Amino acid sequence: MHPMTIDTGNTGFMLLCTSLVMLMTPGLAFFYGGLVGRKNVLAIMIQSFVSMGWTTVLWYLFGYSLCFSGDVGGVIGNFDMACLRGVDLMSPSPINTSIPIIVFIAYQMMFAIITPALITGAFANRVTFKAYMLFLTGWLIFVYFPFVHMIWGGGILAKWGVLDFAGGIVVHNIAGMAALASVLYVGKRKSVDSGPHNIPLVALGTGLLWFGWYGFNAGSEFRVDGVTASAFLNTDLAASFAAVTWMIIEWFTTRKPKFLGLLTGAVAGLATITPAAGFVSPTSAVLIGVIAGIICFYAVALKNKLKWDDALDVWGVHGVGGAIGVVLLGVFADSAFNPAVGTNGLLYGNTHFFGKQVIAILISSVWAFAFTYGMLKLIDMITPVKVEEKHEMIGLDSSLHGETAYLDSL
């Protein structure tokens, strides 16, 4: 390795972004915790928090290596960097040689932590903790790590020219499609929540997610430049326009402006701008936000009509949001806003790029859905995936974990 010159500005910025992305997982726990009933708060929150522990263990052992070391068939890495072998103070990051690889490893680890945690909202209140731990492990190895490698680790989709700035495919789409597979496999809850038990908790979670998302999207430039600033602004624009759009549609349909709708719309906008944040203009980000608010609202309405028990709308917000974000990147990509790696989209006459984005989202959707469904079947042979009906009635906090969030929920 050549001695590297550390850019303290870039390195400091990336450490800050890593901290922001880490904060998103507790934010997600609050978001989901507020959306479920009083007797299942801890059971859903521990599923996010345990990912912070267990995903880190797997990332250190072999996860980082499978994502970013070597290449096997364009689909996955190898074990050359297992247990972070060969990493020292002077090893440069593969994306930007002015920041140490140690920072890159930590930053990417935070993405790995939150992605499987997103799925948990779909099967809230009805999955055993033992099955969830097996699910978390298998899903990272067979779905998340391959897609990180294929898109960000120099694998087959990267070589083909597919772009995904901060995780429309790698994070949101595959998590949302896995959520849909989980819902269809696990089935409906026997004991349905009366609704969100604590909307202020959902608001706190949304605030932490929104705040952390600046690290998620702006940090994905891996240096401080104009693209970083534009990704930051685009993130806020899309979230805000999607939040207002969702609220207005719901206001028209229910005759009341709903706080929960505003919050859900913001998260839909954030998920949708993620793949495009560093490749499009602020005006395109506004359009992406409005489109996200409309399409994700109606995706959730469709889910309700089909009676899928996606408890916390993971498919409608993340699965659909991630997919439309990747496709809209194919439409709105503007190389003027990312001269280094950007390309032009359909609006600027590049039909090939648009086609690649659409094909990539079809591949990721099918892979994530099929693998997740098959894996749940396999886990069910080892340990029951679904909780016993009596435990569901009592609530998972006390029946699975022997704890309760509130004294009066005993």
Contact 320, 295 (CB under 8 A): yes
CA 178/CA 398 separation, integer angstroms: 27
Burial class (CB in 10 A: 0-12, 13-18, 19+), 380: middle
| pLDDT confidence of residue 13 | 97
Q: What pLDDT was estimated at residue 130?
A: 92
In DSSP terms, 92 is beta-bridged to 100
H or E stretch at 374:
helix 351-382
pLDDT tens, residue order, the chain (410 aa):
455 788 999 999 999 999 999 999 999 999 999 999 888 999 999 999 999 999 999 999 999 999 999 999 999 999 999 999 999 988 989 889 999 999 999 999 999 999 999 999 888 888 999 999 999 999 999 999 999 999 999 999 999 999 999 999 999 999 999 999 999 998 777 777 677 889 999 999 999 999 999 999 999 999 999 999 999 999 999 999 999 999 999 999 999 999 999 999 999 999 999 999 999 999 999 999 999 999 999 999 988 888 887 777 898 899 999 999 999 999 999 998 998 887 899 998 889 999 999 999 999 999 999 999 999 999 999 998 888 888 888 888 888 888 888 876 54
* Full DSSP string of 208-246: HHHHHHHHHHHGGGSS-SHHHHHHHHHHHHHHHHHHHHH
Q: What is the DSSP letter of 408?
A: G
CB atoms within 10 A of CB 287: 17
Closest CA to 69 of 131, 128, 145: 145
Q: What is the pLDDT of residue 2?
A: 52
Phi/psi of residue 408, nearest 5 degrees: -85, 10
- Report CA 12 to chain centroid distance, whole Å: 24
Q: Please report, as a single letter, which amino acid is at residue 53.
A: G
386 bridge partner residues: 127
Q: How many C-alpha atoms does 180 have within 13 Å on its Cβ side?
A: 23
Domains defined along the chain, listed by start: 8-396 (1.10.3430.10)
- Distance, CA of 334 to CA of 380 (rounded, Å): 47
pTM: 0.95
Instruction: Give the model's pLDDT for residue 245.
Output: 97
Per DSSP, 92 falls in state B
Angle, CA 379 vertex, CA 377 and CA 381 arms, to 5°: 75
pLDDT score recorded for residue 177: 96
Q: Say what the pLDDT of residue 135 is.
A: 95
